[in-house]
Chains A and B, each alone.
Chain A
Amino acid sequence: MWSRVGKRIAISIPVLVGVVLAIFVMLRIVPGDPVTTMLGEHVNPAVIEKISREMGLDQPVTVQFFQYVFHALQGDFGTSYRLNRNVTGIILDAFPNTVKLSLLAAVVAWVIGIVAGIVAAVRQNRLLDRLFMGCALMGVSMPVFMTALVLQYVFAFKLKWFPVSGFDSVKAMILPAIALGWNSAGSIARMTRSNLVEVMQNDYIRTARAKGLREHGVIVGHALKNAMLPVVTMMVLQISSMLSGAVLTESVFGVPGIGRLAVNAIETRDMPLLQGTVVFTTILIIAGNLAADLLYNVLDPRIREGA
Chain B
Amino acid sequence: MSGAVRRFDVAVIGGGSAGLAASITAARQGARTVLLERQGSAGGMGTAALVHSFCGLYLLRQEPGAVLANPGFCGEIERRMIEATGMGPQRFGRVDVLPQHPVEFARIADGMLAAESGLETRFHTVVTGVEREADGWRIDLADGGRMFCKALVDASGDAVVAGWLGGGFAVAPAAVLQRPAYVFGVRCGAVLDDAGRLRVSGLLVEGLRAGALPSAAMGLSFRASGRPGEVFGSVDLTGGVDGAEFDPLDPACLTALETTGRRVAHEAVRHLAERDPEWMGAYVSHWPARAGIRESRRWIGEHVLTGDEVTAGATFEDQIALATWPMEMRETARGPKLRFPVDDRPCGIPLRCLKPAGLERLWVAGRCISTDHEAQASTRVMGTCFATGEAAGREAAKVADA
Real complex partners, A and B? Answer: no
